[in-house]
Chains A and B, each alone.
Chain A
Amino acid sequence: MNEGLLQRLQSLSEAFSGSYAQNLKRLGNDFIEEAAETNDTSLARLSVISYALYKILSKDHFVKNKGWGAISRNISAELLKAARALEKNDIGAFARSIDNAVKSIEGIDDELSNYAKNIYEKARIKQASTAYAAGLSLNQAAALTGADSKEVQKYIGFTRIHDEQPVHMGIEARMKMLRGLLGK
């Protein structure tokens, strides 16, 4: 049994059941950092789910919608089933329940919203950008969460990630190198 993954799934499930949006956000960030360190795509998936659920719980127009109760119960049930499957070391059943939880989240776009689109897809991109900030290459970070690398690249462009490290070789120095290479 993957106890680490089970513990994290239980934390996620509890935070969601208690509607603790900020906890879900924190868990999402912790999970993606750890997933980047260990190249763990299952944990990366939990991270994306946590972040997507945080975004949903943060928005009144979702949680106050009359359709939300049923969707929320579905997600909770699938998370519980996934945890039980992990306890039995049934990786196939775990993956199916997680798939179902993701489908419920993706279904929110159709059922509840003219307000937001692609909540899960946006969560994938956001979490991939955190994996990039943690040191993975762009494509590796995108692959970890299953996000489109072009979308991740664009997202990163609007963050401060590239301003946080010292400049090793600036534009001028690279231009000098390039001109030298071209014999100018």
Chain B
Amino acid sequence: MTYSNSSAQKKIVLDSSTLITISDNCMMKVMKALSERENISFIIPESVYAESVQTPMKIRRFGLNAIRIRDAVEEGYVKIAKATPQTRQRLEQIEQISQNLCTFNGEKMILLHLGEMETLALHREIGADALAIDERTTRMLIEEPEGLLSFLRKRHHGKIIMNTAQLGEFRREYGGIKIIRSTELISLAYSDGSFAEEIHATKQALEAALFAAKFGGCAVSFEEIKSYMGKIR
């Protein structure tokens, strides 16, 4: 599958956490507008599609959300990337790193799950421009592993060690990934007019949408939202 129709098109890989925040808050049409206005291709791994559409479609309370995501795929503004031998190879490599990255009192402490690793493998394999992920641990591991280590040491009463060789390898492969969350997609939609696809683009609506993302589980703090809203005219 080709993900880019032109060299200017930007590729953003969506983790399931971001896809769920966006779809739960009825913002899929906003994503469509964003895709068209900003020439963005939103891409998800097959496993995220299965987790967000195929499985929940069988459960009544999750069905509506699953349909929203399925429609987005059918309309083409969210694309599914099929796993290739190369992505599988990358996945094995991340799995290996992840399993040996951190120890607690000498025992392996496994921080990431296959789902997050698949998103990372896909991002690298297709040379995506950014990764949208709402959960905290993967983001911290990519952007500030020292901060994550310090947090783990504070939280756990034992000896937490990060394997520097494995961390170095992880950083070489994934350290430069640009990360955004659903809050940035919402903010971008507000500023470029895509927001109007769902709701009037008022400051009050933006703030409400950012808080809806936070309460939907996006790893953003009250302080961040307050600070950002203070700068919006």
List chain A positions with a Cβ less than 8 A from chain B. Answer: 33, 36-39, 132-140, 142-143, 149-150, 152-158, 161-163, 165-172, 174-175, 177-179, 181-183
The residue from A38, A149, A171, A181 contacting B220, defined by CB atoms under 8 A apart: A171
A165 touches B151 (CB 8 A): yes
CB distance from A34 to the nearest CB of B (A): 9
CB atoms of A38 and B217 under 8 A apart: no
Q: Which one of B136, B151, B216 has the greatest number of beta carbons of chain A within 10 Å? A: B136
| B16 contacts partner chain A, Cβ-Cβ < 8 Å | yes
CB-CB nearest 10 A-B residue pairs: A153-B217, A139-B113, A138-B135, A157-B217, A140-B113, A171-B228, A137-B137, A139-B115, A37-B104, A157-B215
Interface SS majority for chain A = helix
Known A165-B151, A174-B184; judge A149-B16 contact (CB<8 A). yes
Q: How far is the CB of B215 from chain A (nearest CB, A)?
A: 4
| A37, B158: Cβ atoms closer than 8 Å | yes
Q: Knowing A167-B224, A171-B183, say if A162 contacts B178 (CB, 8 Å).
A: no
Contacts of B112 in A (CB 8 A): 137, 139-140
A135 near B111: Cβ-Cβ < 8 Å: yes
Given the known A-B contacts A38-B107, A140-B112, A157-B216, are A169 and B134 also in contact in the complex, defined by CB atoms under 8 Å?
Answer: no
Residue of A nearest to B230 (CB): A172
8 new A-B contacts, CB < 8 A, other than A171-B187, A178-B130, are: A37-B156, A132-B136, A154-B217, A170-B227, A172-B228, A175-B228, A178-B180, A181-B129
Nearest residue, chain B, Cβ from A176:
B184
**Is there contact, CB below 8 Å, between B178 and A177?**
yes
